[in-house]
Structure 1
Amino acid sequence: MSSEYRTGREGEFTYRGHTLDELQDMELDEVAELLPARQRRTITRGLTAQHEKLLETVRDADPEGTADNPIRTHLRDMVVLPSFVEKTFAVYNGQEFERVRVQPEMIGHYLGEFQLTRTSVEHGQAGIGATRSSKFVPLK
Protein backbone atom coordinates (compact mmCIF):
# COMPACT_ATOMS: atom_id res chain seq x y z
CA MET A 1 0.00 0.00 0.00
CA SER A 2 1.17 3.46 -0.74
CA SER A 3 1.59 6.07 1.96
CA GLU A 4 -0.34 8.66 -0.07
CA TYR A 5 -4.04 9.20 0.55
CA ARG A 6 -6.19 10.82 -2.10
CA THR A 7 -9.18 11.99 -0.09
CA GLY A 8 -8.83 15.75 0.50
CA ARG A 9 -9.09 18.65 -1.88
CA GLU A 10 -5.32 18.94 -2.07
CA GLY A 11 -4.98 15.19 -2.51
CA GLU A 12 -3.94 14.36 1.05
CA PHE A 13 -5.86 12.88 3.96
CA THR A 14 -7.39 15.31 6.43
CA TYR A 15 -9.47 14.73 9.55
CA ARG A 16 -11.57 17.75 10.54
CA GLY A 17 -9.12 20.11 8.86
CA HIS A 18 -5.90 18.54 10.17
CA THR A 19 -3.44 16.46 8.17
CA LEU A 20 -2.27 13.08 9.41
CA ASP A 21 1.14 14.45 10.41
CA GLU A 22 -0.49 17.24 12.44
CA LEU A 23 -2.75 14.70 14.16
CA GLN A 24 0.16 12.45 15.05
CA ASP A 25 2.05 15.39 16.59
CA MET A 26 -0.91 16.38 18.81
CA GLU A 27 -1.36 15.32 22.42
CA LEU A 28 -4.12 12.84 23.28
CA ASP A 29 -6.31 15.59 24.80
CA GLU A 30 -6.05 17.71 21.63
CA VAL A 31 -7.01 14.75 19.45
CA ALA A 32 -9.92 13.96 21.80
CA GLU A 33 -11.41 17.41 21.10
CA LEU A 34 -11.68 16.50 17.41
CA LEU A 35 -13.35 13.12 17.96
CA PRO A 36 -17.11 12.46 18.05
CA ALA A 37 -18.84 12.83 21.43
CA ARG A 38 -18.84 9.18 22.55
CA GLN A 39 -15.15 8.68 21.76
CA ARG A 40 -14.25 12.05 23.29
CA ARG A 41 -16.06 11.10 26.51
CA THR A 42 -14.23 7.77 26.64
CA ILE A 43 -10.86 9.52 26.52
CA THR A 44 -11.66 12.48 28.79
CA ARG A 45 -13.05 10.23 31.56
CA GLY A 46 -9.75 8.36 31.50
CA LEU A 47 -8.58 5.22 29.79
CA THR A 48 -8.38 1.96 31.72
CA ALA A 49 -5.06 0.35 32.61
CA GLN A 50 -5.54 -2.11 29.74
CA HIS A 51 -6.12 0.71 27.26
CA GLU A 52 -3.02 2.55 28.54
CA LYS A 53 -0.97 -0.64 28.13
CA LEU A 54 -2.18 -0.98 24.54
CA LEU A 55 -1.20 2.65 23.86
CA GLU A 56 2.31 1.95 25.18
CA THR A 57 2.55 -1.15 22.99
CA VAL A 58 1.50 0.87 19.94
CA ARG A 59 4.03 3.62 20.69
CA ASP A 60 6.84 1.07 20.99
CA ALA A 61 5.82 -0.94 17.90
CA ASP A 62 7.52 -0.53 14.55
CA PRO A 63 4.92 0.02 11.78
CA GLU A 64 6.74 -2.24 9.32
CA GLY A 65 7.12 -4.96 11.95
CA THR A 66 3.42 -5.08 12.80
CA ALA A 67 2.50 -6.49 9.39
CA ASP A 68 4.33 -9.73 10.20
CA ASN A 69 3.72 -9.66 13.95
CA PRO A 70 0.45 -7.81 14.64
CA ILE A 71 -0.45 -6.27 17.99
CA ARG A 72 -2.87 -8.75 19.59
CA THR A 73 -5.74 -7.32 21.62
CA HIS A 74 -9.13 -8.15 23.08
CA LEU A 75 -9.91 -4.42 23.42
CA ARG A 76 -12.60 -4.01 20.79
CA ASP A 77 -13.71 -0.78 22.52
CA MET A 78 -10.38 0.99 21.96
CA VAL A 79 -10.75 4.20 19.94
CA VAL A 80 -8.58 4.29 16.82
CA LEU A 81 -6.11 7.15 17.33
CA PRO A 82 -3.73 8.77 14.82
CA SER A 83 -0.78 6.86 16.32
CA PHE A 84 -2.45 3.58 15.21
CA VAL A 85 -2.31 4.44 11.49
CA GLU A 86 -0.33 2.00 9.31
CA LYS A 87 -0.10 -0.53 12.15
CA THR A 88 -1.65 -4.00 12.08
CA PHE A 89 -3.75 -5.27 14.96
CA ALA A 90 -5.03 -8.76 15.64
CA VAL A 91 -8.49 -8.07 17.11
CA TYR A 92 -10.34 -10.87 18.93
CA ASN A 93 -13.83 -11.54 17.56
CA GLY A 94 -14.91 -14.10 20.16
CA GLN A 95 -13.36 -17.10 18.42
CA GLU A 96 -10.06 -16.04 16.94
CA PHE A 97 -7.78 -13.09 16.31
CA GLU A 98 -8.36 -11.44 12.93
CA ARG A 99 -5.99 -8.93 11.36
CA VAL A 100 -7.00 -5.31 10.96
CA ARG A 101 -4.67 -2.88 9.15
CA VAL A 102 -5.48 0.62 10.40
CA GLN A 103 -5.95 3.24 7.68
CA PRO A 104 -6.33 7.00 8.28
CA GLU A 105 -10.06 6.85 7.49
CA MET A 106 -10.55 4.65 10.60
CA ILE A 107 -9.59 7.44 13.03
CA GLY A 108 -12.38 8.07 15.52
CA HIS A 109 -13.95 4.62 15.18
CA TYR A 110 -13.53 1.62 17.47
CA LEU A 111 -11.28 -1.36 16.68
CA GLY A 112 -14.24 -3.72 17.07
CA GLU A 113 -16.12 -2.03 14.23
CA PHE A 114 -13.68 -3.52 11.74
CA GLN A 115 -13.91 -7.09 13.04
CA LEU A 116 -17.40 -8.54 13.11
CA THR A 117 -18.38 -10.95 15.88
CA ARG A 118 -21.31 -12.55 14.07
CA THR A 119 -21.27 -14.41 10.78
CA SER A 120 -24.15 -14.71 8.35
CA VAL A 121 -26.08 -17.97 8.68
CA GLU A 122 -26.42 -20.11 5.58
CA HIS A 123 -28.96 -22.82 6.23
CA GLY A 124 -28.63 -26.22 4.64
CA GLN A 125 -31.25 -28.94 4.38
CA ALA A 126 -33.55 -29.94 7.21
CA GLY A 127 -31.98 -32.32 9.69
CA ILE A 128 -33.09 -35.42 11.56
CA GLY A 129 -36.39 -34.97 13.36
CA ALA A 130 -37.67 -32.25 11.06
CA THR A 131 -41.35 -32.29 10.13
CA ARG A 132 -42.54 -33.17 6.64
CA SER A 133 -43.40 -29.56 5.85
CA SER A 134 -40.01 -28.21 6.91
CA LYS A 135 -38.26 -30.80 4.72
CA PHE A 136 -39.94 -29.39 1.62
CA VAL A 137 -37.46 -27.63 -0.63
CA PRO A 138 -39.03 -25.97 -3.67
CA LEU A 139 -37.47 -26.80 -7.03
CA LYS A 140 -36.63 -23.89 -9.28
Structure 2
Amino acid sequence: MSQEYRTGREGEFTYRGHTLDELQEMELEEVAELLPARARRSITRGLGVQHHKLLEAAEDATAEETANDPIRTHVRDMPIVPSFVDLTFEVYDGQSFERVVVEPEMIGHYLGEFNLTRNSVEHGQAGIGATRSSKFVPLK
Protein backbone atom coordinates (compact mmCIF):
# COMPACT_ATOMS: atom_id res chain seq x y z
CA MET A 1 0.00 0.00 0.00
CA SER A 2 1.50 3.31 -1.01
CA GLN A 3 1.78 6.15 1.45
CA GLU A 4 -0.21 9.25 0.44
CA TYR A 5 1.69 11.71 2.56
CA ARG A 6 5.04 11.68 4.23
CA THR A 7 7.43 13.96 5.97
CA GLY A 8 10.54 14.64 3.92
CA ARG A 9 14.13 14.61 5.10
CA GLU A 10 13.94 18.20 6.29
CA GLY A 11 10.71 17.50 8.17
CA GLU A 12 8.61 19.23 5.52
CA PHE A 13 5.15 17.81 4.89
CA THR A 14 4.37 16.56 1.39
CA TYR A 15 1.14 15.17 -0.04
CA ARG A 16 1.56 13.16 -3.22
CA GLY A 17 4.74 15.03 -4.11
CA HIS A 18 3.50 18.54 -3.33
CA THR A 19 4.43 20.66 -0.31
CA LEU A 20 1.75 22.26 1.83
CA ASP A 21 2.51 25.72 0.41
CA GLU A 22 2.10 24.42 -3.15
CA LEU A 23 -1.19 22.75 -2.22
CA GLN A 24 -2.55 25.92 -0.63
CA GLU A 25 -1.79 27.94 -3.76
CA MET A 26 -3.66 25.47 -6.03
CA GLU A 27 -7.27 25.90 -7.11
CA LEU A 28 -9.86 23.54 -5.64
CA GLU A 29 -10.17 21.58 -8.91
CA GLU A 30 -6.40 21.02 -9.03
CA VAL A 31 -6.38 19.79 -5.44
CA ALA A 32 -9.34 17.52 -6.19
CA GLU A 33 -7.24 15.64 -8.76
CA LEU A 34 -4.80 14.68 -5.99
CA LEU A 35 -7.42 13.56 -3.46
CA PRO A 36 -8.68 9.99 -3.02
CA ALA A 37 -11.57 8.88 -5.24
CA ARG A 38 -14.46 9.54 -2.84
CA ALA A 39 -13.35 13.08 -1.93
CA ARG A 40 -12.48 13.81 -5.57
CA ARG A 41 -15.96 12.71 -6.66
CA SER A 42 -17.61 14.87 -3.99
CA ILE A 43 -15.83 17.95 -5.31
CA THR A 44 -16.17 17.25 -9.04
CA ARG A 45 -19.91 16.47 -8.78
CA GLY A 46 -20.37 19.83 -7.11
CA LEU A 47 -20.38 20.94 -3.52
CA GLY A 48 -23.59 22.15 -1.91
CA VAL A 49 -24.44 25.58 -0.61
CA GLN A 50 -23.37 24.72 2.95
CA HIS A 51 -20.05 23.37 1.66
CA HIS A 52 -19.33 26.61 -0.19
CA LYS A 53 -20.23 28.64 2.91
CA LEU A 54 -17.75 26.56 4.92
CA LEU A 55 -15.04 27.14 2.29
CA GLU A 56 -15.68 30.89 2.42
CA ALA A 57 -15.58 30.88 6.22
CA ALA A 58 -12.24 29.05 6.11
CA GLU A 59 -10.83 31.55 3.61
CA ASP A 60 -12.02 34.47 5.75
CA ALA A 61 -10.48 32.90 8.86
CA THR A 62 -7.09 32.52 7.17
CA ALA A 63 -7.24 36.04 5.69
CA GLU A 64 -8.13 37.64 9.02
CA GLU A 65 -5.56 35.60 10.96
CA THR A 66 -8.29 34.39 13.32
CA ALA A 67 -7.27 30.76 13.02
CA ASN A 68 -7.69 30.32 16.78
CA ASP A 69 -11.41 31.14 16.65
CA PRO A 70 -13.28 27.91 15.85
CA ILE A 71 -15.59 27.67 12.87
CA ARG A 72 -18.86 25.99 13.90
CA THR A 73 -20.43 23.68 11.35
CA HIS A 74 -22.93 20.88 10.86
CA VAL A 75 -21.29 19.87 7.56
CA ARG A 76 -19.63 16.56 8.43
CA ASP A 77 -19.30 15.41 4.80
CA MET A 78 -16.90 18.17 3.73
CA PRO A 79 -13.58 16.85 2.42
CA ILE A 80 -10.62 18.46 4.17
CA VAL A 81 -8.72 20.61 1.68
CA PRO A 82 -5.33 22.33 2.17
CA SER A 83 -6.94 25.68 3.02
CA PHE A 84 -8.35 24.08 6.21
CA VAL A 85 -4.90 23.25 7.64
CA ASP A 86 -4.17 24.86 11.04
CA LEU A 87 -7.79 25.96 11.44
CA THR A 88 -10.04 24.86 14.29
CA PHE A 89 -13.52 23.60 13.54
CA GLU A 90 -16.33 22.74 15.90
CA VAL A 91 -18.15 19.87 14.20
CA TYR A 92 -21.64 18.87 15.34
CA ASP A 93 -22.01 15.22 16.32
CA GLY A 94 -25.76 15.18 16.95
CA GLN A 95 -25.57 16.39 20.54
CA SER A 96 -22.83 18.95 20.82
CA PHE A 97 -20.05 20.66 18.90
CA GLU A 98 -16.69 18.94 19.29
CA ARG A 99 -13.42 20.68 18.51
CA VAL A 100 -11.32 19.41 15.60
CA VAL A 101 -7.94 20.99 14.84
CA VAL A 102 -7.01 20.24 11.23
CA GLU A 103 -3.46 19.02 10.63
CA PRO A 104 -1.79 18.42 7.25
CA GLU A 105 -2.14 14.65 7.59
CA MET A 106 -5.95 15.02 7.52
CA ILE A 107 -6.06 16.26 3.91
CA GLY A 108 -8.36 14.07 1.83
CA HIS A 109 -10.40 12.82 4.78
CA TYR A 110 -13.78 14.17 5.88
CA LEU A 111 -14.49 16.44 8.84
CA GLY A 112 -16.92 13.93 10.30
CA GLU A 113 -14.24 11.22 10.51
CA PHE A 114 -12.57 13.02 13.39
CA ASN A 115 -15.71 13.50 15.46
CA LEU A 116 -17.54 10.27 16.29
CA THR A 117 -21.32 10.31 16.58
CA ARG A 118 -21.69 7.19 18.71
CA ASN A 119 -20.26 6.54 22.14
CA SER A 120 -18.79 3.20 23.12
CA VAL A 121 -20.96 1.25 25.55
CA GLU A 122 -19.46 -0.33 28.63
CA HIS A 123 -21.93 -2.54 30.45
CA GLY A 124 -21.74 -3.03 34.18
CA GLN A 125 -22.88 -6.03 36.20
CA ALA A 126 -26.54 -6.89 36.31
CA GLY A 127 -28.18 -5.96 39.61
CA ILE A 128 -31.12 -7.41 41.45
CA GLY A 129 -34.20 -7.12 39.29
CA ALA A 130 -32.24 -6.78 36.08
CA THR A 131 -33.51 -10.12 34.81
CA ARG A 132 -36.47 -12.30 35.74
CA SER A 133 -34.29 -14.94 37.35
CA SER A 134 -32.54 -12.41 39.60
CA LYS A 135 -35.83 -11.52 41.31
CA PHE A 136 -35.79 -14.79 43.24
CA VAL A 137 -32.69 -14.50 45.37
CA PRO A 138 -32.53 -17.05 48.21
CA LEU A 139 -32.90 -15.46 51.65
CA LYS A 140 -30.21 -17.26 53.64
Equivalent pairs, count: 129
User: What residue is the counterpart of 2:58 in the other structure?
Assistant: 58
Structure 2 residue runs of 5 or longer lacking an equivalent are 1-5, 136-140
Q: Which residue of 2 aligns with 1:39?
A: 39
- Aligned partners of 2:65, 2:98: CA distance in 1, in Å? 18
Alpha-carbon spacing, 1:26–1:134, altered in 2? closer, same or farther (3 Å): farther
Q: Which amino acid aligns with 1:112?
A: G
Query: Which digits, 9 at most, give the CA deviation of each residue in 1:35-77, with x for residues without a partner?
Result: 011110100011001100110111001485342x300001110
Report the Cα offset of residue 126 of structure 1.
Answer: 2.3
What amino acid maps onto 2:22 in structure 1? E
**Structure 1 residue runs without a partner (length 5+):** 1-5, 136-140
Distance in 1 between residues matched to 2:114 and 2:38, nearest whole Å: 17
Using the alignment, how far apart are the partners of 2:28 and 2:43 within structure 1?
Answer: 8
Quote the RMSD (CA, aligned, Å).
2.0
1:76 aligns with 2:76: yes
Bigger drift between 54-63 and 36-45 goes to 54-63
| TM-score, normalising length: structure 2 | 0.84
Larger Rg: 2
CA displacement at 1:119 relative to structure 2: 1.0
Q: Deviations over 1:4-57 (max 9, x none)?
A: xx8223320000000000000000000000001111010001100110011011
Residue 125 of structure 1 and its aligned partner are, at CA, apart by 3.2
Give, in whole Å, the separation in 1 of the partners of 2:133 and 2:14: 58
* Counterpart for residue 20 of structure 1: 20
Give how far 1:102 is off. 0.3
In the superposition, the TM-score normalised over structure 1's length comes to: 0.84
Note if 1:48 corresponds to 2:61: no
Q: CA deviation at 1:134?
A: 6.6
Moved over 2 A (4+): 62-67, 124-129, 131-135
Q: Give the match for residue 138 of structure 1.
A: none
